[in-house]
């Protein structure tokens, strides 16, 4: 019996099939980034993209709700699709010194769960991630955290309209943030 057959016989069949579809999309997206297919990845972004990674600070016990900067405060990324287009355009020039030679990345997404379905064609998805980057002969960076993604089903497939990235590190030791989360 196939997974689809099992899903059809489950009382939560639609939710299970949706989750599998979302997991497949996120795996495809990670492969595009790891294979440096940035133009193809750009096509997965909605025109109204909200790409945000707030700064994290250490807080005393009881003040954990203020660990992350709020929208409009300090952020490593607070970008739109236009910003992503510009970043990719720069990567395609000889003037992208932070990525020459190019980084080698591996995006690992796990604990994928659907949080909500605000509209019939949208889902809000949470996942944990590890992003490994190898660069030059011995430079390595690892970022770990949680993402909240907003995905929208369109005629062309899923599009990312929101990506909020919450890293576990307070101090980033990387020399740059030229990779895409």
Query: Residue 13: what pLDDT?
Result: 83
Query: Which residues 6+ apart lie within 8 Å of 106 measured at CB?
Result: 34, 130, 131, 132
Mean per-residue pLDDT pooled into runs of 10, the chain (181 residues): 62 86 98 98 98 96 94 94 97 90 96 94 98 93 98 97 97 92 97
What is the domain partition of the chain in residue ranges? 3-167
Q: Give the tokens for residue 41.
A: 């990845």
Query: Residue 84: what pLDDT?
Result: 97
Query: Residue 12: what pLDDT?
Result: 78
Query: Residue 5: what pLDDT?
Result: 67
Query: Residue 14: what pLDDT?
Result: 86
**Beta-strand pair 45-54/157-167:** parallel
> Strand ranges (DSSP E) for the chain?
45-54, 75-79, 104-119, 122-135, 139-154, 157-167
Class of domain 3-167: alpha beta
Query: Residue 24: what pLDDT?
Result: 98
């Amino acid at each position: 019996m196939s997974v689809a057959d099992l899903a059809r016989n489950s009382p939560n069949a639609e939710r299970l099939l949706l989750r599998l579809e979302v997991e497949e999309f996120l795996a495809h997206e990670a492969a595009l980034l790891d294979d440096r297919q940035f133009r193809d990845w750009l096509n997965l972004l909605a025109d109204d993209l909200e790409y945000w990674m707030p700064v994290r600070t250490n807080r005393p016990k009881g003040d954990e709700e203020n660990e992350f900067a709020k929208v409009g405060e300090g952020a490593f990324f607070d970008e739109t699709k236009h910003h992503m287009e510009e970043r990719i355009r720069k990567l395609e020039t000889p003037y992208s010194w932070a990525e020459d030679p190019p980084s080698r990345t591996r995006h690992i997404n796990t604990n994928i769960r659907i949080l909500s379905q605000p509209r019939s064609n949208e889902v809000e998805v949470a996942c944990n991630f590890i992003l490994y980057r190898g660069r030059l002969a011995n430079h390595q960076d690892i970022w770990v955290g949680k993402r909240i993604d907003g995905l929208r089903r369109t005629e062309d497939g899923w599009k990312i309209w929101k990506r909020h990235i919450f890293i576990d590190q307070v101090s980033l030791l990387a020399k740059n943030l030229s990779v895409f989360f």
